[in-house]
Amino acid sequence: MQTKTHQYLRETDLPQLAKSLAEQWLTPGTVVALHGDLGAGKTAFVRAFIRVVVGEDIAVPSPTFTLVQPYETDNVTIYHYDLYRLSDVSELVELNWQAACAEGLVFVEWPERAGRALPPHWRVEISDGDSDDTRAIKITPPNAIDAVMILAAGLGTRMRPLTDATPKPLLKFAGRAMLDHVLDSFAAGGVTRAVVNAHYLGEQIIAHAGSRAAPVITISDEREKLLDSGGAIKKALPLLGRDTFFTANADAVWRDMPGAIPALHRMMQFWNPNIMDTLLLLAPKERAVGFDGPGDYFITDNGKLSFRAARPSAPYVFASVMISKADVYANRAEEIFSCKTIWDEQESAGRLYGIVHEGIWVHCSTPADIAAADAALS
């Protein structure tokens, strides 16, 4: 199941929606995280589901003060959590959180309060509809990532003189701007929203982003100060609004092999937030068009990465796409920092993983690389 948005729903429509979800959700270990403002209708959504499953006459109060309310069914115990009043993650132990997530069906309001204790989950976002009595409900299954941060603020120094008047992400090859190649790939992969940062010649990036229909783009404006890759992601977290998201360089151009599972889908399938903090897409050096460097990483059979460091070469190069966790960046004290600093720390902790791209990847960093990129993508 891909992300699906149900528009213009009234409270009387919720039982029918609940019936359509019951078969998928009524299994042990299912966690449903509900997002929305106060009064958005999170409790009403859960109440409709429980009444469809347990019985229409059952009382389903808000667990704002009790923090958790259990309901027994023939198949599984349903736990309805509201973590708004949770003062510390350690309090989850007293609420039987770990066992509930493993053995029951958990609905949780204010799930961000659970931090890293929140397991892989369905995401339900409830927002206002087109009238006071309607809501839009967006449902995203576990590991379906629908947002991307595009790093487009670089100075393009190695591309000069082509970047004297044009930012690098807007340089064209194979008939499209680099930025469009990247955004097209994410749109095709089911990503519906993108945050694009802008610094050098940022007005052009902003204008170009506004000309696209999909994915929906929000600008993270760095025209006053360049924050490096990690700092850019940290600044953009409120705009992304996601616990997990893709990140890509604006010149991250790749193609999948015909008939193969797309790289973005393979990444989502492989992603395991319980053991990973970052998942990098890697390209074998021999399939990296325009790349002549020593390589970046070695990879083990289970996907763990180790950087080349003092070794003369490595077989794989970072292909400029990764899956990232918001809390990794939100918890940094620095304003300006590189993603590589974080990767080194994660490698030491055994939480930096990679997956090898099965198609081609285009490395385009100098004017001489554009002809090779044209040929590879034509």
pLDDT computed for residue 176 by the predictor: 87
Alpha-carbon separation of residue 232 from 217, 323, 333, 350 (angstroms): 16, 15, 13, 25
Cite the residue boundaries of each domain of the chain with CATH code 3.90.550.10: 147-377
In terms of CATH, what superfamily is 4-140?
A: P-loop containing nucleotide triphosphate hydrolases (3.40.50.300)
* Count of residues making up the chain: 378
User: Taking 70 as the threshold, does the pLDDT of residue 126 lie above it?
Assistant: yes
User: Taking 80 as the threshold, does the pLDDT of residue 246 lie above it?
Assistant: yes
Neighbouring CB atoms inside 10 A of 72's CB total 10
User: Taking 80 as the threshold, does the pLDDT of residue 376 lie above it?
Assistant: no
Q: What is the mean pLDDT of residues 344-349?
A: 97
Q: What is the mean pLDDT of residues 155-179?
A: 88
Q: What is the mean pLDDT of residues 25-35?
A: 92
User: Taking 60 as the threshold, does the pLDDT of residue 377 lie above it?
Assistant: yes
pLDDT computed for residue 278 by the predictor: 97
Q: What is the mean pLDDT of residues 355-359?
A: 93
Least confident interval from 143-147, 233-237, 311-315: 143-147
Q: What is the mean pLDDT of residues 95-114?
A: 94
pLDDT computed for residue 3 by the predictor: 64
Q: How confident is the model at residue 148 (pLDDT cuts 50, 70, 90)?
A: very high
Least confident interval from 59-68, 236-245, 266-275: 266-275
Of the candidate CATH numbers 3.90.550.10, 3.40.50.9100, 3.40.190.10, 3.40.50.720, the domain formed by 147-377 belongs to: 3.90.550.10
Least confident interval from 94-98, 222-226, 285-289, 313-317: 285-289
Least confident interval from 99-103, 272-276, 339-343: 272-276
Q: How confident is the model at residue 128 (pLDDT cuts 50, 70, 90)?
A: confident
User: Taking 70 as the threshold, does the pLDDT of residue 2 lie above it?
Assistant: no
**HSE (side-chain half, CA atoms, 13 Å) at 270:** 24
Q: How confident is the prediction for the chain on average, in pLDDT?
A: 90
Digit-coded pLDDT (tens) for 7-20: 667 778 888 888 88
Burial class (CB in 10 A: 0-12, 13-18, 19+), 286: exposed
pLDDT over 70, % of the chain: 98
Neighbouring CB atoms inside 10 A of 351's CB total 20
User: Taking 60 as the threshold, does the pLDDT of residue 1 lie above it?
Assistant: no
pLDDT computed for residue 303 by the predictor: 94
CA distance 256 to 263: 7
Digit-coded pLDDT (tens) for 269-316: 889 888 999 999 999 998 888 888 899 999 999 999 999 999 999 999
pLDDT computed for residue 261 by the predictor: 80
pLDDT computed for residue 158 by the predictor: 84
Q: What is the mean pLDDT of residues 126-134?
A: 77
User: Taking 90 as the threshold, does the pLDDT of residue 6 lie above it?
Assistant: no
pLDDT computed for residue 11 by the predictor: 78
pTM reported for the whole predicted model:
0.71
